[in-house]
Structure 1
Amino acid sequence: MKTPILLHIPHSSLNIPKAVRDKLCISDAELERELLRMTDRYTDILFGLPTITSHSIIYPVSRLVVDPERFEDDAMELMAAIGMGVIYTATSQRTLLRIQPDACERTKLLDAYYHPHHRRFTEAVAELLNEAGQALIIDCHSFASRPLPYELNQGMDRPDICLGTDAFHTPKWLLDSVTKAFLKLGYSVAINHPFAGTIVPLPYYTQEARVLSIMIEINRKLYMHEDTGEKGPFIARVKDDIATVASQIVQT
C-alpha cells in the first residue's frame, strides 16, 4: 500500500492565549487541573513516525480555546448540549468554564483558530490526493483511564487502545489491520469504545472514498502519570509500538 499517512493531532497543546485566559471563569489552579484532564498530552510525541513517510497537522492551541474536532454548528454537535460544543462553556467536571461568547467573540475565535486549522487540514488532504491518489488520516488521541464526568460513556471497562471508525471512510481491511497489529503487540483493543468516530475534512466527508480515516486513542495509563502529567516509564515503548502498527498499515 502506497497511501500516504496524514496524522491529525488536535488535542496535544497546553497553549491558551492570554486574551482567552482572561475570559475563563476558573482559577489558575483549576485551569491546570482541567488541562491535565482534557489534554491528550504527548500525542505529538507518541505519533511521531520517523521511519514512515507521513504528514502532521497539529492544532497549536488547547482545545479549551476552540475544539477543532467539534462541528462548527452547535446544532450538529451532540456535546454542545452539555456546554462542550466547538467553544466550551463547561469543564470536564460539568462546572462553568466561561460565559457563552456573543456572536462577535465567537466569530473571532473561530476565525483565529478553527477555520485556519481546517483549511490546513483540507489542503493537506487535497495535496495527498493529488500526489498519491489516496490519503489515510490517523486521528491521534489519548483518553483517561477512568471516565471523566462529561463523557457520554461512563463504563469502567476501558481498553488499552480505542479505535474509532466511520462507516464510509474506514474500510474493513484498515480496521482489521490496525486491530490485529495492536493485539499482536499485547494490547487490549475496543472498537468505538469508549469514544467513537474519526475525523475527515467536511469537503470530503462521505463524498470521497479515496480519503480513509481511523481514530487511534491510547489509554493514558500506558504512557504517563495521570495525576501529574509527567511522562511514564513506558512512553518510548508505546511510541515504538504505534510506529510498528503504522508500518504494518503501510505494508498492507
Structure 2
Amino acid sequence: MCGGSVRSDYWDQPAFETIRPRRMVAPIVFNSPHSGRNYPARFLAMTRLDHLSIRQSEDAFVDELFGRAPHLGAPMLRAHFPRAYLDVNREPWELDPTMFVEPLSDRFNTTSPRVAAGLGTLAKVVAENKPIYRDRLTLDDARMRIEGIYHPYHAALQNLLSEAATGFGVAVLIDCHSMPRLGRNGEKATPDIVLGDRYGTTCATGLIDLVETVFTAAGLRVARNRPYAGGFCTRSYGRPQHGVHALQIEVSRHLYMNETTLEKNSGFEPMRQLIGGLIHALVGLDLIALAAPPMTLGRAAE
C-alpha cells in the first residue's frame, strides 16, 4: 500500500473513517478533509512548531458541525490525519522541491500557485507562513502519505459517490471547510459563509441557492466563489453534466470558536444546530431536477 521503506504513521490507528447512516435516504455525501487532529508522534518530532501553532491549518471541529449527517441519512467521510500532515484537497503529487532531499522529476507538479504558497499536498507552512519542518523530507515519506493515505481516501470518497449515483441516479458532494475570519473587525461586507461551485460549473443552481437561503435566513452574510471557489475535490468530482454535483462550504471560524486558542465558543452549538437544519433541507431536496441522464460517473482526475 505504501511506497518506499517508511512505515505508515497510521499503522496503529485509522487515518480516516467513513461514517455511514443506518439507511442512506439521499444521494448526498459529506466530506470533511481538513478537520483531522490526530498528530503522529513521528510527525511532531519532525516539526519545529509548538502544539498550538501546528494546529493553525485545521478546519477545527468542522466534522462535528456537520456531524448530524449520518443520523439524517447521509454518509460522511472525515480525515483523522491533520491538514498540516497531508492535504487531500490538492492534486496527489503537488509538491515543493525545496522540501525534499532528492530532486523531483517532471512527473510532480512543482509549480502550482498552491506550491508557491507553501500549501501543496505536503504543506511547507501553516497559517501566517510558519515553516513546519526542521529538516528536509525524503520522497519515501511523501510516497508513504500519498500512496498509503491520499489515494485510499479518494477511493473511499469515489466509492461513496458511486453508491449514491447507483442508488439514486445522481450524487451530491458537500465539501465541508472552515476559514479564518475575513477582513478586519467592523467591515460590514465581510462574509460569514463562502460557497464555492467553481463559478457555476460544479453543481446545479438550485443546490447552491438552497444552501445560501438557509444561511442568509439565519442572518449570516454569504458570498459565492470569492475568495474560495472550491478546491481539488470540488473541481475534480463536480460533473453536473454527468449527474455528479459538488459544492464547497466555508464557515468562518469566529462564528463558533476562538481562532487563537482553538476552543469552541458560545456560537458552536447554534452553528451546529443551523448546519443540522441545512443537512435536513439538503436531504429533503427534490433531486430529480439535478439528474442529467444519461448519467455516467467518471473517476476524479488524479
Q: Please give the range of the TM-score, normalised by the shorter of the 2 chains.
A: 0.7 to 0.9
Choose the corresponding residue for 2:130, options 88, 95, 116. 95
In the TM superposition, residue 44 of structure 1 has moved relative to its aligned partner by 1.0
Q: Is residue 16 of structure 1 aligned with residue 39 of structure 2?
A: yes
Identity %: 25
Whether 1:85 and 2:120 are equivalent positions in the alignment is yes
- Secondary structure of 1:141's match? strand
Change (3 A) 1:109 1:172: same
**For structure 2, which runs of at least 5 residues remain unmatched after alignment?**
1-24, 95-108, 286-302
- Over the residues paired in the alignment, what is the CA RMSD in angstroms? 2.4
Partner residue, 2:203:
170
2:158 counterpart residue number? 122
SS in 2 for 1:159: coil
Matched, 1:67 2:87: yes
TM-score, normalised to structure 1, is: 0.85
Matched with 2:248 is 215
Can you list the C-alpha shifts for 1:121-149, whole angstroms capped at 9, x where unaligned? 111111111122211111011111147xx
Deviation at 1:7, TM superposition (A): 0.6
Match for residue 173 of structure 2 among 115, 122, 137: 137
Corresponding residue of 2:61: 42
Aligned residue type for 1:128: A
- 1:82/1:236 CA distance change after superposition, 3 Å: same
Amino acid at match of 1:235: F
Equivalent residue pairs, number: 239
Q: 1:3 touches 1:136 (CA, 8 Å); kept in 2?
A: no
Q: Report Cα offsets for 1:189-245 as digits up to 9, x if no partner.
A: 01112322152484x554862111111111111111222111111211111111212
User: How far off its partner does 1:188 sit?
Assistant: 0.7
AA at the equivalent of 2:147 = D
RCO greater where, 1 or 2, for CA within 8 Å and sep 6 or more? Answer: 1
Q: Which amino acid aligns with 2:128?
A: Q
Tell me the residue number matched to 1:150: none
Per the alignment, residue 151 of structure 1 pairs with: none
Residues 70-90 of structure 1 show CA distances to partners (whole Å, capped at 9, x for unaligned) of: 111322743111221000122
Q: Please state how far the C-alpha of 1:157 moved relative to its aligned partner.
A: 5.0
Kept after mapping to 2: 8 A contact 1:158/1:194: no
Q: What SS class does the counterpart of residue 88 from structure 1 fall into?
A: coil
1:223·1:231 contact (CA, 8 Å) conserved in 2?
Answer: yes
